[in-house]
């Protein structure tokens, strides 16, 4: 399951980030996107080209292609 599969009002944990580009991997890491972090869906654009997520108290917007690289799991407490 990736960020593309997230549902509203559920909490997820990032399992891994599958990124082959060092620049993008560093950008995601600097935004707090790495394994073990809890994440929640904010909003998606009309045609789901961008995804807004909440992570560590911040709202972050990601392109669909970036969201597809982030593997997640749903937490039971959600």
**What is the value of pTM for the model shown?**
0.89
Q: What is the mean pLDDT of residues 13-35?
A: 95
Asked if pLDDT for residue 51 goes beyond 60, the answer is yes
Residues 6+ away with beta carbon under 8 Å from 72: 1, 2, 3, 5, 6, 12, 13, 14, 15, 39
In sequence order, the β-bridge partners of residue 17 are 70
Asked if pLDDT for residue 48 goes beyond 90, the answer is no
User: What's residue 77's pLDDT?
Assistant: 62
């Amino acid at each position: 399951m990736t960020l593309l599969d997230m549902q509203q009002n559920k909490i997820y944990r990032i399992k891994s980030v599958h990124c082959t580009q060092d620049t993008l991997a560093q950008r995601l890491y600097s935004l707090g996107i790495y394994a073990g972090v809890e994440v929640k869906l904010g909003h998606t654009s009309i045609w789901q080209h961008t995804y807004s997520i909440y992570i560590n108290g911040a709202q972050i917007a990601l392109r669909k292609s970036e969201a597809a690289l982030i593997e997640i799991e749903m937490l039971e407490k959600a």
